[in-house]
Structure 1
Amino acid sequence: MEPRSVFALPKAHLHLHFTGSMRHSTLVELAAEHGVHLPEALVEDWPPRLRATDERGWFRFQRLYDIARSVLRRPEDMYRLLREAAEDEAAEGSGWLEIQVDPSGYAARFGGLTPTIELVLDAADVAEAATGVGIGLVIAANRTKHPLDAKTLARLAVRHRDRRVVGFGLSNDERRGRAYDFEGAFRIARRGGLLSVPHGGELLGPASVRECLETLGADRIGHGVRAVEDPALLEQIVRRGVTLEVCPSSNVGLGVAPTAADVPVRALLAAGARIALGADDPLLFGSRLARQYELARTEYGCTDAELAELARASIRGSAAPPDVRKRLLAGVDHWLSPVEPSRPRHRAPARCS
């Protein structure tokens, strides 16, 4: 019997960055249209060979990301990116997407922080209507910028809570900004009813995860895989029901793990952690969400029942409305239900003439 398709498994995608969601073909097309020169790593040598475990490697990763962002120059480019991202999610079985954006990266081009957020929200309205994929927005602060900037973003995020903004995040190089410094911004976001979804435990170890958990009150942690190095911390994550947004292809692409098999998904599952698989930045890592589920099957030995549980964890860890959660969870149950073998049709005996 053919294995169940991971593309057909209903799921939510909770770890996808805005620019990083762009199709490679769209990047190349927009670069040509706007006269942006792309390095070979984003053209012929795509996906780029990356290693960000040292500052030089992270600088290269960030430089490629900034070049990719620079092709988004018009409102219609932003609309296109989000529509295509939603189309890709639908094709991979995702019924709910929480896409993360730092509006300060686009503000100078689109008239400021608030107009940028509203542009992305308008684009999400159109993308959801066109594809049927529910979309929530996570506003993310940048660790390399001042904590006061993060407070400004947190207030703007809360102001737009009634219009798709579901969470507040913290991204970029963990080594250049402690989670502790952004506690004030996250306090504003949590009081405003937003999920706390910082990155942690990717380039730094358990101490970074602990700050996200204890200081920022994380509901989910982006990556978080290094928590496996501290059993007491991992036990605390399990006890609190915090979801870890684990991105195997990204961990390999950035050199956090040598191979997909070295990402500690099986150890995290054995400890009882809730895991929502994510693709992080498909534009730079070359694979999308369904591939992460394929890796769970081939590299971590996950059974179909375990794949279904990963999908359920992504749905339950999301900010999707109750009706969307109910529909997606029912779809997971249906995906896992026994397949009835097809029965041959019996033909009536031929009549003698």
Structure 2
Amino acid sequence: MLQSPGDPPRHDRAVPPHGAPGTRELRLLPKAHLHLHFTGSMRPGTLLELADKYGVHLPEALSCGEPPRLRATDERGWFRFQRLYDIARSCLREPEDIQRLVFEAAEEDVRDGSQWLEIQVDPTSYAPRLGGLIPAMEIILDAVDRAARDTGLGIRVLVAANRMKHPLDARTLARLAVRYRDRGVVGFGLSNDERRGLARDFDRAFAIAREGGLLAAPHGGELTGPHSVRDCLDDLHAARVGHGVRAAEDPRLLRELAQRGVTCEVCPSSNVALGVYERPGDVPLRTLFEAGVPIALGADDPLLFGSRLAAQYELTRVHHGFTDTELAELARQSIRGSAAPAEVQKQVLAGIDDWLAG
């Protein structure tokens, strides 16, 4: 069986000597979730049911009940990761499938203490089966509205371009994202293999998004070094960076991230699963935190990595020795780095204080 949502990743639980970890229940800690991909948020059981519904043959890596073994630090490994993701996405074919996925993702987040979710999606990937780009966007946003009403979770959408595609496609998506700003789109991202396509090739798309009032949140600093984070800052004027962990290798860059208040959406479980770091304790959470870089812990793709949001906090507690006071600060940084309205941020921050006081 896959791990239950929120269970700590299956790794050695030795604690580094940074102080005694706390004991408060991490699922009760209010927090925001800023790095969750659309198909990757799916429950494994849902994937099995949808594959059976549509007659999709799943490879053993997606059907065996265990998170697949992945190592994406070389192109062959990334291709395998992307292939598994694409197969899972092919099982989302009808509006009701989209509604189910978003509702279940919201349920899982609520269970893990999330009070604000910004889910990331490239609607072009779903458009062929949902009647086109605009119908796909409408279906996704309708599902988000419905899930927010049914679960009480604040949910917004970050539209992400694919850096493997032409920059003109990214401009089209940026205009689409701005068009739906009043329907819940809050940001614009750039995902897929950061070793492909220069950030500056997408500068116009990000300019369109920023001019339209959306925050810029491209991926960088995961599969390549700190220079990719630098490119996100200089070329795309990022307000947040998806991952960003490799910035830890450049002290000057760390200082700039801290001074500019650029939030890094750190996803510890996926960093290890994809081979960016060998062990959970190798993820440079302490380096970023102590440099003053804002951090928003994220689950990335729970379907493929086997753990959800609360598990990232548990990993941080167990493998990096973060105290409850420090974990509460991480939760504060997640909500401050979000696009949540001021009144929502105030409410969540008060809840974090209550958790710590309790």
* Band the TM-score falls in, shorter-chain normalisation: over 0.9
1:211 maps to 231
Query: Which position in structure 2 is the counterpart of 1:201?
Result: 221
Q: Deviations over 1:173-220 (max 9, x none)?
A: 011111111000000000000000000000000111001011100000
Q: Determine the C-alpha separation between the residues in 2 that align with 1:151 and 1:237.
A: 26
Secondary structure of residue in 2 paired with 1:299: helix
Contact 1:139-1:168 at 8 Å conserved across structures: yes
**d(CA) in 2 for partners of 1:33, 1:118:** 24
Structure 1 distance, partners of 2:65, 2:156, is 33
| Alignment partner, residue 91 of structure 2 | 71
User: RMSD over aligned Cα, in angstroms?
Assistant: 1.0
Q: Distance in 1 between matches of 2:184 and 2:342?
A: 14
Instruction: Give 1:114 deviation, angstroms.
Output: 1.1
Q: 1:46: how far off?
A: 2.3
- TM-score norm. by structure 1 comes to 0.95
Quick one: higher RCO (CA 8 Å, sep 6+), 1 or 2?
Answer: 2
What one-letter code is carried by the residue in structure 1 that aligns with 2:181? R
Helix, strand or coil at the partner of 1:292: helix
Instruction: Give the match for residue 3 of structure 2.
Output: none
The structural deviation recorded for 1:115 is 1.0
Partner of 1:299: 319
Distance 1:58 1:138 in 2: 23
For residues 278 and 22 of structure 2, the distance between their equivalents in structure 1, rounded to whole angstroms, comes to 31
Aligned to 2:104: 84
Pairs aligned (count):
338
Structure 2: distance between partners of 1:70 and 1:3: 41
On the 8 A contact 1:40/1:46 being kept in 2, the answer is no
43-52 vs 30-39, which moves further: 43-52
TM-score, normalised to structure 2, is: 0.93
The structure 2 residue matched to 1:150, chosen from 170, 174, 183, is 170
- Taking the TM superposition and a 5 Å limit, the aligned residue runs for 1:223-242 are 223-242=243-262
Hey, what does 2:206 align to over in structure 1? 186
For 1:321, the equivalent position in structure 2 comes to: 341
Counterpart for residue 347 of structure 1: none
Residue-by-residue CA offset, 1:80-115 (whole Å, 9 max, x unaligned): 000000000000000100000001101111111111
- Distance in 1, Cα, partners of 2:230 & 2:267: 19
1:44 Cα deviation from its structure 2 partner: 1.1
Structure 2 counterpart SS, 1:215: helix
* Contact 2:36–2:298, Cα closer than 8 Å, also in 1: yes
CA gap of 1:45–1:123, structure 2 versus 1, over 3 A, is closer
2:182 to 157, 162, 166: 162
Q: Which runs of 5+ in 2 are unaligned?
A: 1-20
CA contact (8 A) 1:53 1:255 kept: yes
Match of 2:57 in 1: 37
Deviations 1:320-342, CA, capped at 9 Å, x for gaps: 112211111110000000x4xxx
1:269 partnered with 2:289 = yes
Tell me how far 1:68 sits from its aligned partner.
0.3
